[in-house]
Structure 1
Amino acid sequence: MSFGDPNPNNPYGQQPGQPPQGQPGYGYPQQAPQGIPPQGQPGYGYPQAPPAQYGMPQPGYGGMPAFAGWWSRVAAMLIDAIVIGVPYGLLIGIGGGVGGGAGTALVLLGALVALGLGLFKLYKEGTTGQFIGKKAVNIRVLREADGQPLGFGIAFVRYIAHFLDSLACYLGWLWPIWDAKKQTFADKICSSVVVKSV
């Protein structure tokens, strides 16, 4: 019979020099109380992916979402052009019709509204990957390397780089039709991709 053995007739009871059953000895990993996950110890099974931001899975854990089609991108651009262009056009038109100092003020206000909406568009695309147009057609622009939003600076550079898409008969705007990653020239320069939202 061994000390601490609940069954005195058990010939295979606890051997001398071993820790009592149910209690780990020195060098054995400690177990967390029931219902509390162990701290600092990896779990069993496959490694878990870090939580995705903005509803996007991380590359390397299931891959980048599918690339957005060309028509989705065109629709998003048209919606954004309407959102920014209509207030601008109305204020310019009214200002031109009124004339004088009030007309000039309305024209300047129209230009400021367009500039403000344009900067807000870059901010939203830089921080969330979407402005109104992309949100309406369920796509977003992200960094190719890690699937995260571009940031305002890269979103601004991408906007400027679209100038290159307009050269040579707008070839850069058409490039996503046959490109493997469906990128424009601006996307290639800024290492950005336009993907379907999850």
Structure 2
Amino acid sequence: MSFGDPNNPYGPPQGQQPGYPQGQQPGYPQAPQPGYGYPQGAPQGQPGYGYPQAPQGVPPQQGYGYPQQPGGYPGGPAAPRVASMGRRFGARLIDGVAFGIIYFILAAIGVAGSVGAAQDCDPAAADYNTCINDASSSIVASFGAVIGVLAVVGLLYEWLMTGLVGATLGKMALGMRVVKVDTGQKPGLGSAFIRWIIPMVGSFACGIGQLLVYLSPFWDKSGRQQGWHDKAASTMVIQN
């Protein structure tokens, strides 16, 4: 019996090697066919692996970088400009000059009244010395009253302006304002009072404590140049 014999009904068809399917040659592996390896059916041109893709029609979300902080303050991508110490010193100087003018006017009124009272004393009168002493006491009392008035005015000025407006006249003139660190909003009366009272307590030690409070932003490591009074009130000073 011979292969390829047309008279042999059990042999392979003529032209085909025995023992192998048609189209396959002996000794060589068959080429891989589709359906193996990577999954089929993925849309062409679309990545099937790696980072997950956002659904079509949905805008990309901000998922990387620094977390967005309320008001965009330090730590966020829209951090404001922190006010320099030079500007802050200039604002204090402007406010101090304004208070100096008020103090001078009030003191001049008190002294003028006391001097007028001393001029009314009659040198020939028996109670002349008593009259002069009373006039001198009046001058001292006038200065004391002026200092008391200025203390009250200073409290109301610094406290109310910072809490309700966010800036004193000096800060307004130099384009600065005080804000809450976490929200960027005005401090409010509570935080403004804390911010005011801390340097005032320091002023009782011959003003040394107050000076240290106002210089403390130089030692702040947060990048916000917060003084001790700012940290206690959770505030910071920024440029507009």
TM above 0.5, yes or no, is: yes
TM-score, with structure 2 as normaliser: 0.50
Q: How many residues are matched?
A: 145
Q: 1:194 and 2:234 equivalent?
A: no
Q: Secondary structure at the residue paired with 1:115? A: helix
Deviation at 1:94, TM superposition (A): 2.8
| Matching residue of 1:74 | 89
Match of 2:158 among 113, 121, 144: 121
Match of 1:170 among 202, 208, 211: 211
Deviation at 1:108, TM superposition (A): 4.1
- Report percent identity of matched pairs: 28
CA distance in 2, matches of 1:176, 1:105: 37
Contact (CA 8 Å) 1:129, 1:142: kept in 2 or not?
Answer: yes
Residue type of the alignment partner of 2:230: D
Alignment of 1:60-71 (within 5 A): 62-71=77-86
CA distance in 1, matches of 2:202, 2:187: 19
Higher RCO (CA-CA < 8 Å; seq separation 6+): 1
Match of 1:139 among 157, 167, 176: 176
Contact (CA 8 Å) 1:172, 1:184: kept in 2 or not?
Answer: yes
Deviation at 1:167, TM superposition (A): 5.0
Deviations 1:127-149 (A, max 9, x none): 22111000011111111111111
| Matching residue of 2:71 | 58
CA distance in 2, matches of 1:185, 1:113: 24
Q: Once superposed, what is the RMSD of the aligned Cα atoms? A: 3.4
Deviations 1:87-144 (A, max 9, x none): 1222113312321599767974774366235403321211221110000111111111
Q: Point out where structure 2 has 5 or more consecutive residues left out of the alignment.
A: 1-57, 62-69, 118-134
Deviation at 1:174, TM superposition (A): 2.0
Question: Which protein has the larger Cα radius of gyration, Structure 1 or Structure 2?
Answer: 2
Contact (CA 8 Å) 2:111, 2:142: kept in 1 or not?
Answer: no
CA distance in 1, matches of 2:214, 2:145: 31
CA distance in 2, matches of 1:91, 1:107: 11
Q: Point out where structure 1 has 5 or more consecutive residues left out of the alignment.
A: 1-43, 48-56
| Matching residue of 1:14 | none
Contact (CA 8 Å) 2:166, 2:187: kept in 1 or not?
Answer: yes
Deviations 1:51-107 (A, max 9, x none): xxxxxx922675341110001111111111222231122211331232159976797
Q: Secondary structure at the residue paired with 1:175? A: helix
Q: Secondary structure at the residue paired with 1:170? A: helix
User: Structure 1 residues 137, 191: CA separation in 2 closer, same or farther (over 3 Å shift)?
Assistant: same
